[in-house]
Amino acid sequence: MKAIQFFLLISLFMLGCKDSAKEKNAESSKEPRSKLTSLPTGESKGIAETGGGELNIDGLTWDVNITAGTGGTADELIIGMPGSQAKELEGDLVIPDEIDGIAVKVIGEGAFMGANKVTSVVLPVTTTRIGNAAFYNNTSLKNITIPDGVTHIEDAAFYNCAAMEAIVIPASVTSIGSRAFADCKNLGSITFLGDPPQLNGELSQFDGVEQAWIYYDSDFESWKEVGVLGNGERFANRPTRPIDKP
């Protein structure tokens, strides 16, 4: 009888080990969205308390700055990368949504300047502002989705993103800085999903963009207020067309 009980215990133990191994293998087999997507807890711990700092992920250094709000609580997290590191990036770039539980809201000034081998960028859904020259001279950048919630696209944010062929400006955007999309020479389609934003500077947002048309939602009456009536009138020095709707 004791022998039978012993063998039963051994069998149960072995089954438990197999189940545990299966769970570990399943976890290890999950593919991360990108090696740049998430920040190891050990690396980011304490960043919130210090107001910012540097994080090293897979040999790349990220710059993180946190501004203080009311009562000293974190207000917004600004992210970027030193220029020498940005130039090492290739292919798809996925920017983390949060660090230490704090949402990434701002793509900092010059954040990824000169990252000319990056072909696509996924911005955090929490982004509210794309800073000056954030993606300046990203000459291979073709695909980027600006999240609904971004309110400001600042000066030269996408200057000389020469591979970009189309861009959609969400309804949340209220202002676009000077030369924000200047010299994006292959840009052919610029779609505005909301009211016309304020154009800062001397209407230079699309300087050097010779073939692009602006498409706008004619349901927004404010387009008429800026002289866009559906007959090809110009906005930001580009001709306009209403978005085709079924």
- What is the residue whose two structure tokens read 């770039």? 93
* CA distance linking residue 135 with residue 44, whole number of Å: 24
Residue 160, in any domain of the structure: no
Distance of CA 15 to the CA centre of its chain: 45
Specify if 223 maps to a domain. no
Q: Please give the structure tokens belonging to residue 155.
A: 């000066």
In a domain, 235, yes or no: no
Cα–Cα distances (Å) from 157 to 7, 74, 160, in that order, read 69, 25, 9
Tokens 């189309």 belong to which residue? 166
Q: What CATH number should be reported for the domain holding residue 71?
A: 3.80.10.10
Give pLDDT, residue 245: 81
Task: Provide the number of structural domains found in the chain.
Answer: 1
Q: What is the pLDDT of residue 29?
A: 35
Range of the domain at 95: 33-145
How many other C-beta atoms are found inside a 10 Å radius of the C-beta of residue 198?
11
**228 lies in some domain:** no
Residue 177 maps to a domain: no
**Per-residue pLDDT tens over the stretch 38-54:** 344 444 445 555 567 78
In 3D space, the residue among 154, 152, 157, 132 whose CA is nearest the CA of residue 144 turns out to be: 157
CB 28 within 8 A of CB 49: no
Query: What are the residues whose beta carbons fall under 8 Å from the beta carbon of 90, sequence distance 6 or more?
Result: 117, 118
Of 17-26, 67-76, 157-166, which gets the smallest average pLDDT? Answer: 17-26
Task: Calculate mean pLDDT across residues 19-23.
Answer: 44
> Is 127 contained in some domain?
yes
Residue 121 lies in a domain: yes
| pLDDT tens-digit series, residues 124-156 | 999 999 999 999 999 999 999 999 999 999 999
Percent of the chain at pLDDT > 70 equals 74
Mean pLDDT, range 175-180, rounded to an integer: 97
Yes or no: say if 193 and 217 are a contact pair by the CB < 8 Å rule: yes
Q: What is the 3-state secondary structure (H, E, C) of the chain?
A: CHHHHHHHHHHHHHHHHHHHHHHHHHHHHCCCCCCCCCCCHHHHCCHHHHCEEEEEECCEEEEEEEEECHHHCEEEEEEECCHHHHCCCCEEEECCCEECCEEEEEECCCCCCCCCCEEEEECCCCCCEECCCCCCCCCCCCEEECCECECEECCCCCCCCCCCCEEEECCCCCEECCCCCCCCCCCCEEEECCCCCEECCCCCCCCCCCCCEEEECCCCCHHHHCCCCCCCCEECCEEEEECCCC
The answer to whether position 55 is within a domain reads: yes
